[in-house]
Amino acid sequence: MLNFILLYLDPGTGSLIVQALIAGFLAIVFYFKMAKNAVTDWFAGLLGRKKSEDELTKDETAQ
């Protein structure tokens, strides 16, 4: 009898797993970036500091 399990990953399954890991990582990065922006915008609103049109344009082109 075999005392170990033979596993096989074909290239299609391997690439699917890699793509899922990359997508999950990027989703987490995007989520935290948006959460950070929401918190900083909220604090800026509390302090009465709204972004001007020039700052909004610079932020969008910098990303």
Whole-structure pTM value:
0.58
| Structural domain includes residue 45 | yes
pLDDT of residue 33: 95
Give 1-63 as a DSSP string: --SS------HHHHHHHHHHHHHHHHHHHHHHHHHHHHHHHHHHHHTT-PPPHHHHHHHHHH-
| Structural domain includes residue 21 | no
Using one digit for the tens of pLDDT, what is the confidence trace for 13-59? 889 999 999 999 999 999 999 999 999 988 888 888 766 555 666 65
| Structural domain includes residue 41 | yes
| Structural domain includes residue 37 | yes
**Residue ranges making up the domain that contains 34:** 28-63
Q: Per the structure, how many domains does the chain have?
A: 1
| Structural domain includes residue 58 | yes
pLDDT band at 10, cuts 50/70/90?
confident
| Structural domain includes residue 8 | no
pLDDT of residue 43: 87
| Cα–Cα distance, 37 to 44 (Å, whole number) | 10
Q: Phi/psi zone of residue 8: left (φ > 0), alpha (ψ -120 to 50 degrees), beta?
A: beta
| Structural domain includes residue 13 | no
